[in-house]
Structure 1
Amino acid sequence: MLLGLLLLGRAGPAQAAAEYKIVTASDKGTYYAIGKDLARFVAPEADVQLEVLATSGSAANVKLLRYEPGVKLAVVQADVFQAFVDRAGAGNPEANALIKPLRVILPLYNTEIHYIVRADSPLNYLHDIKDAKINGGLVGSGAALITHTLYRMMFNEPIPEAQASFMSNEEALVKLIGDKSVDVVVVAAGQPAPLIANMKPEAQKFIKLLKFDPNSPYSRQALGTYAPATVRAASYPNLLSEDFTTISVGAFLVTYDFNLKDTVGHLSKLGRSLCNNFSRLQADGHPKWKEVSLKLPELGSGWTYYAPTARELRNCTPRKRCSNEERILGLCN
């Protein structure tokens, strides 16, 4: 005990970790799981204590990242980011103020869009949903934007107001099966989406998932913004017996163009830690990390990488894991 106190007395003052927040989506969704993985595997080595916040989704995340104190990171859908860029380019001052200073850290993965209907529904494909009662998720969520954007692309008209609802996924599923006041529930989440993956086998009696037909004439317009994706039966073994095609949209890890020295330093270290711990994310994190690459592809017009993290990731040489012997000899940094 005395020896411990003496040794403690010799140590320098402990440096407190920076307290940052990352905004994601529902705490039952994949974005939230991705945030949790970053907090667990990446943030500690960067001297960051990362709090993961559940939100209504991507549109809300853009505003929170821009204006909410302490929020330094956000997960944002590509089409939501692009929608702000397009409106800023068209002269909308609010959209310009929101999106102009935001920066991309890393493209993540494609988010699958799950269209859920009743098991006895006559609907089988996305192009069957015209005039159905559709719940796209909470206002401000990426799912809501996808639902309404994709409908307009397919049918050249908006979802009729009387047919659209903006409830949480959980509430909408109750309505879908209960009073049937909803015909379609849209869940945007990288597979396996926890909300669906956690359903029991009996759920097959009540719900099914719609397929996307890339060859349908209704689908052609959507393929400029969205991409076909395979939903694997292995992701939802309680519901599916075979793989099928749905539609998907990219997701990005985003930050603000911070220039304060301390923040730049911590975010640079976050980029370095992302490099060093990427294998851990892929081995022990959400399965979607296996679809992520640390390569930084060229971005579209109006999108810019955050220079301090981009520098770290472009120079990424993952650190070799230390053996116990190397650690004992003091050969680990």
Structure 2
Amino acid sequence: MLKRLLAGWLGLVALIICSLASAEPTHYKIVTGPERGTYIQIGNDLSKWVAQPANIDLEVLATKGSAENVQRMRYEPGVKLALVQSDVYQAFIDMANSGNPDAGTTIRPLRLIMPLYDEEINVVVRADSPLKTLADIKDKTISVGLLGSGTAQSATTLYRLMFGQPIPEQNVVHLSNEDALAALIVKKIDVAIIVVGQPANLFTGMKPELLSQLRLLPVDPNAPETTRAKQTYFPTTIRQSSYPDWLKEDVPGLTVKAFLVTYDYGLRDTVVNLNHFADSLCANFDNLQEHGHPKWKQVKLELPTLVRGWKYYGPVEKHLRACLANRSAAMSSTAAQQAAPKPHTPCSEQERMLLLCK
């Protein structure tokens, strides 16, 4: 019965999506991240596997990263979706709560669609660097990423948590990911902090002779700096299998969560289109995990309880929760059927001869 209900619900979603196919597509934009980062690939996956079936022509825009995405999500016409790091989103909320009116005006109308995956904080040094662990970067010259990027927010927040002070101004360099790695190799900086989901094209696309001049700093789980960093960030592993031409072993690291974000829209057409997007996201979630970036395999189709100041987008939340309930019911029904005892069937003569009867 429950399986029939789910099949009926998915059939209704398919019918709606098919009916949309004959209509003129709606043009929306999603702001992501740098050209060789993970965010832009996630945006491309959403455009292909979710937006297109919902008859939405979703233009994927490259950006500096999360802080710019928040601003463009809030103010740029046509931008209906954004990918944003959790620490950047929280930083806007903290600024708003501390009395900054611009931060409040920017962040308070934004809403979450769902959490996605964890992005690794890659702390890169030269292969011949004397630095041994993340705790050794204090007072070094550090590229923290471009202004307006999520990497810049993560790098500066991480440093402040670990050492109880901001990075000295004379030690901060704002370079793109590619320029930061080049600056490392020619010894213009000591450290490059790059926030990107593994496996990242930034590293997999580099020539082996360049990669051999770089290495990742591991996190020392016993260092007091690590304990302080875990107030905001979480332990993870940067896997050797993600970068087999570079890493000789897994590297312990830290991670930050990525979210899919929208605005608290009230216009009927926009609400309807985003509801179709939510239905398509549910219906095509398996396609994302099978055909999309490997990071999709880490995404769970769920809506966890949010911290104070964070809110889901109400209309989409209702659609996704209905989807989750139907999927859960179907899985429970399937599990019950699999657990049910099989009816007894008499053994054949051949089965008895082979001692296969129990």
TM over 0.5: yes
1:62 partner SS = helix
From 282, 287, 291, the counterpart of 1:284: 291
Whole-angstrom distance in 2 between the partners of 1:87 and 1:289: 31
From 276, 280, 290, the counterpart of 1:273: 280
2:296 partner SS = helix
Whole-angstrom distance in 1 between the partners of 2:38 and 2:211: 22
1:298 partner SS = coil
Structure 2: 5+ residue stretches without partners: 1-20, 331-358
Whole-angstrom distance in 2 between the partners of 1:239 and 1:66: 39
Contact 2:135-2:226 within 8 A present in 1 as well: yes
State the TM-score, normalized to the length of structure 1.
0.90
Contact 1:213-1:219 within 8 A present in 2 as well: yes
From 171, 175, 182, the counterpart of 2:183: 175
Equivalence for 1:77: 85
The residue identity in structure 2 corresponding to 1:38 is: L
Taking the TM superposition and a 5 Å limit, the aligned residue runs for 1:125-144 are 125-144=133-152
The superposition leaves residues 15-38 of structure 1 with CA deviations (integer Å, 9 ceiling, x where unpaired) of 211100000110110011000000
From 254, 269, 287, the counterpart of 1:247: 254
The superposition leaves residues 205-237 of structure 1 with CA deviations (integer Å, 9 ceiling, x where unpaired) of 311011112220111121111001111101001
Taking the TM superposition and a 5 Å limit, the aligned residue runs for 1:153-192 are 153-178=161-186, 180-192=187-199
The superposition leaves residues 249-301 of structure 1 with CA deviations (integer Å, 9 ceiling, x where unpaired) of 00100000001000000000000000000000000000000111111000010
The superposition leaves residues 136-191 of structure 1 with CA deviations (integer Å, 9 ceiling, x where unpaired) of 1100101111111111111111111111110111112111112x111111110110
Contact 2:212-2:246 within 8 A present in 1 as well: no
The CA deviation at 1:14 is 5.0
Whole-angstrom distance in 2 between the partners of 1:227 and 1:205: 28
Bigger radius of gyration, 1 or 2? 2
Contact 2:123-2:192 within 8 A present in 1 as well: yes
Equivalence for 2:53: 45
Does residue 1:213 correspond to 2:220, yes or no? yes
Decide which moves more: 187-196 or 64-73.
187-196
Structure 1: 5+ residue stretches without partners: 1-12, 321-333
The CA deviation at 1:200 is 3.0
Equivalence for 2:72: 64
Whole-angstrom distance in 2 between the partners of 1:14 and 1:287: 32
Contact 2:125-2:192 within 8 A present in 1 as well: yes
Does residue 1:31 correspond to 2:47, yes or no? no
Whole-angstrom distance in 2 between the partners of 1:272 and 1:311: 10
1:220 partner SS = helix
Taking the TM superposition and a 5 Å limit, the aligned residue runs for 1:55-134 are 55-134=63-142
Whole-angstrom distance in 1 between the partners of 2:173 and 2:198: 24
The structure 1 segments of at least 4 consecutive aligned residues displaced by more than 4 Å after TM superposition are none
Contact 1:132-1:183 within 8 A present in 2 as well: yes
The residue identity in structure 2 corresponding to 1:129 is: I
Does residue 1:198 correspond to 2:205, yes or no? yes
Whole-angstrom distance in 1 between the partners of 2:179 and 2:250: 27
State the TM-score, normalized to the length of structure 2.
0.84
The superposition leaves residues 47-85 of structure 1 with CA deviations (integer Å, 9 ceiling, x where unpaired) of 100000000110010000000000000000000000011
Equivalence for 1:3: none
Whole-angstrom distance in 1 between the partners of 2:197 and 2:212: 24
The residue identity in structure 1 corresponding to 2:257 is: G
Whole-angstrom distance in 2 between the partners of 1:212 and 1:145: 19
Aligned residues: 307
Whole-angstrom distance in 2 between the partners of 1:306 and 1:46: 18
The CA deviation at 1:201 is 2.9
Equivalence for 1:7: none
The residue identity in structure 2 corresponding to 1:233 is: Q
The residue identity in structure 1 corresponding to 2:70 is: V
From 224, 227, 245, the counterpart of 2:231: 224
1:315 partner SS = helix
**CA RMSD, aligned part only?**
1.5
Whole-angstrom distance in 2 between the partners of 1:247 and 1:225: 10
Decide which moves more: 201-210 or 188-197.
201-210
The CA deviation at 1:204 is 4.4
Greater helix fraction, Structure 1 or Structure 2? 2
Whole-angstrom distance in 2 between the partners of 1:124 and 1:21: 42
